[in-house]
Amino acid sequence: MKPGYTYIIGSHSGTLYIGVTSDIFIRTRQHKNGTFEGFSKDHTCTRLLYYETHDSIGEAISREKRLKGWRREKKLNLIRTQNPEFKDLAEQWGWQFITAHERMNP
């Protein structure tokens, strides 16, 4: 079974977006490159602030739905448990953002 991820990505102005994916590296790259259409792109949410790994995508979706129902302060407190300084957790993933195609065809 393929794992799933629930994540919170934010903008520099403080907007939060909660999403789910089966590949946190690719999805984060899409947000950073502006290729993931919708709310997060419209609000320039590019900073990975929090993520959880789940055994299945179904579990990740269930968690996403719960988190989306939370008030903002509760979401911020959750982020603080993993990332008290609200740093971009993906900053040190540089090599992960290179796609398989790019690695094989430099």
Name the class of domain 4-104.
alpha beta
Residue pLDDT, tens place only, 2-51: 899 999 999 999 999 999 999 998 899 899 888 888 998 899 999 999 99
Q: Break the chain into its structural domains and give their ranges.
A: 4-104
User: What pLDDT digit, counting tens, does each position of 52-94 carry?
Assistant: 999 999 999 999 999 999 999 999 999 999 999 999 999 887 6
Return d(Cα 73, Cα 94) in angstroms, integer: 30
